A and B are shown apart, each in its own frame.
Chain A
Amino acid sequence: MKEKTFEDRIKRRDFVRKSLHTVVGLTVGGLAGILFSKSSSEEMVWQLDPNICIQCEKCAVNCVLPHSAVKCVHSYSMCGYCDLCSGYLQPGAKSRDTGAESQLCPSGAIKRTYIEDPYFEYTIDEELCIGCGKCVKGCSSFGNGSLYLQVRHDRCLNCNQCSIARRCPSQAWKRVPASRPYILKGDESRKYIMD
């Protein structure tokens, strides 16, 4: 049997050292990768894409909360501030006033405030809004679509399986990063949005 030379021993020591370096390197790299991936996986929340929503009325009645977390919101930059607001008034309203019989909203959640002739501002009382989207339909049909539905994250429980999303006929529900939880319409710098 051939006796191991000094050079053989050097080679073996070198191999062991290099292997150890590789193992340590892979371990440190792997741990760093895991830590990095954990830090970059942001929490996701539910949101309703207003460009896909068809205002089917299901948001009002399918939330697990007693009062739906879906509310109407208003893009003031898109609003025409119309006296004859088709999101506020019944299609055949006899008069353009705040009378309950003239209002489209079944819960009276839209407030109408006179600005100057012939302009009015419309604001949503979220405590009263039930998220039915009736005003959204009216506004989208005749107006600029400045009224639209959004999940309000001060109310939403962020269920794993959102009971409204399951029933949405237009697949308008999405998971979005919690840091950007709203899908907003409108562009504050422009009066009208042209495609």
Chain B
Amino acid sequence: MGIFNLKRDKILTGAILAVSVAGVLYFGTMAVRDNAKKNQQNPFAYDIKSYKASDADLIHYSEVGRIPIQLPKVSGIAVGPDDRIYVSGNDSVLVFNNDGTMQSSFFTNVPVHCLAVDNNNDLYLGMGDHVEVYDQEGIKQASWESLGEEAIITSIAISVKSVFVADAGNEIVWKFDKSGTRLQRIGDKNEAKDVPGFIIPSPYFDVAVDPDGFLWVANTGRHSLENYSVDGNFRTSWGEFGMEIRGFSGCCNPSHFALLEDGSFVTSEKGLARVKIYNRIGNLVSVVAPAEQFIEGTVGLDLAVDSAQKIYVLDPKQKLVRIFAKKKI
């Protein structure tokens, strides 16, 4: 009887142990599997977060001011010779003093896509397919010829004698004299002269004139900035694709750029909205504003620079002029 009881106890103990081990194994496996499922990446997620961060040591600028723009939509910014700030949006132009106070505004009756200011404070406005010239009082001085049905004027740059008009629709830069006479096409593809031709996949096509009087054009589809003489001869280019901070991201960038007085470049991108500084030969120098400083969906940050080398970023999502100055080290 005692022997039977002992055996029965051993069998019972063994069974309990076996069930316990099986349970531990089963639930352990399930837990591991569940955890693995939780850690599995969502295959449909489009994730560019890792490219949004920027090395803090590279950020040499800080935001020092903001000017809210009371317009339904903003399109362009320019700084005049006396550091007044001009902002276009819808069919209006707003003029601000350098301290951010509003000075004046005027209507154009036609939507303004971009603007530039001459040394004598005349305003050149890109109105879709043509340029209009206004004086300081907002009185129209001239309306130039249409550049055709396909034309979409996205940027205007002014030199001493010429006006350069970037036409994203026709993928060309037009050279005018200041009376509005069309003089020349710049940037047509020419293999014999090593002119690559403009690839403009989206309506962002910027131009600027550097302190030496040369024309710079953003060839966004090639992720490069190209340099031309005022006569339209291709001279050089720099820039490359890269999602990392050193390159220009996405299909077509930089969407906008401006020049500092030492000839270095301020660039902005769409997709990864970020503002950076490159030196004259295209090496990254610093970051003005990383992508983290912009709301998701911010597209098209127009840029301008004043005489104190402050950088004006037109934020179309927040309808703000955001002013950045170099940090004092």
A118 to B271, CA, bound (A): 21
B150 interface residue (CB < 8 Å to A): yes
Interface string of B240-269 (1 = CB under 8 A from A): 010100000111110000000000000000
The answer to whether B42 touches A57 (Cβ under 8 A) is yes
Determine how close the nearest CB of chain B comes to the CB of A128; give it in whole angstroms: 14
The answer to whether B251 touches A84 (Cβ under 8 A) is yes
The answer to whether B44 touches A132 (Cβ under 8 A) is yes
Count, A-B residue pairs, CB within 8 A: 78
Instruction: Identify which of A80, A104, A106 gathers the most chain B CB atoms within 10 Å of its CB.
Output: A80
B4 interface residue (CB < 8 Å to A): no
- Nearest B residue (CB) for A119: B199
Partner of A141, one of B44, B73, B201, B250: B250
Determine how close the nearest CB of chain B comes to the CB of A168; give it in whole angstroms: 15
A137 interface residue (CB < 8 Å to B): yes
Partner of A143, one of B128, B169, B222, B252: B252
The answer to whether A81 touches B46 (Cβ under 8 A) is no
B274 interface residue (CB < 8 Å to A): no
The answer to whether A81 touches B43 (Cβ under 8 A) is no
Partner of B46, one of A55, A60, A80, A84: A55
- Nearest B residue (CB) for A138: B46
User: In B25-75, which residues have CB < 8 Å from any A CB?
Assistant: 42-48, 51, 73
Instruction: Identify which of B150, B200, B201, B222 gathers the most chain A CB atoms within 10 Å of its CB.
Output: B201
Residues of B within 8 A of A104 (CB): 46
The answer to whether B221 touches A91 (Cβ under 8 A) is no
Residues of A within 8 A of B243 (CB): 91-92
Partner of B241, one of A84, A132, A138: A84
Residues of A within 8 A of B221 (CB): 80, 82-83, 118
B84 interface residue (CB < 8 Å to A): no
Q: How many residues of B contact A (CB 8 A)?
A: 33
Instruction: Identify which of A106, A137, A191 gathers the most chain B CB atoms within 10 Å of its CB.
Output: A191
Determine how close the nearest CB of chain B comes to the CB of A87; give it in whole angstroms: 9
Determine how close the nearest CB of chain A comes to the CB of B270; give it in whole angstroms: 7
B289 interface residue (CB < 8 Å to A): no
A91 to B253, CA, bound (A): 14
Residues of B within 8 A of A15 (CB): none
Given contacts A118-B221, A192-B169, contact A134 B252 (CB under 8 A): no
Residues of A within 8 A of B251 (CB): 80, 82, 84-86, 142-143
B202 interface residue (CB < 8 Å to A): yes
Given contacts A84-B241, A192-B152, contact A141 B46 (CB under 8 A): yes
The answer to whether B46 touches A82 (Cβ under 8 A) is no
The answer to whether B45 touches A57 (Cβ under 8 A) is yes
A144 interface residue (CB < 8 Å to B): yes
A8 interface residue (CB < 8 Å to B): no
Residues of A within 8 A of B232 (CB): none
Residues of B within 8 A of A132 (CB): 43-44
28 cross-chain CB contacts under 8 A: A55-B46, A57-B42, A57-B44, A80-B201, A80-B221, A82-B251, A83-B221, A84-B223, A86-B250, A91-B46, A91-B47, A91-B243, A118-B199, A118-B221, A132-B43, A134-B44, A134-B45, A134-B46, A141-B271, A142-B250, A142-B252, A143-B202, A144-B202, A192-B168, A192-B202, A194-B113, A194-B128, A194-B152
The 9 closest A-B pairs by CB, nearest first: A80-B201, A142-B250, A142-B271, A137-B46, A132-B44, A82-B251, A57-B44, A192-B203, A106-B43
**Given A142-B249, A142-B271, A192-B202, 18 other A-B contacts at CB below 8 A?**
A60-B44, A80-B200, A80-B202, A80-B251, A82-B201, A82-B221, A84-B223, A86-B250, A86-B251, A91-B48, A104-B46, A134-B46, A141-B48, A142-B250, A142-B270, A142-B272, A143-B252, A192-B169
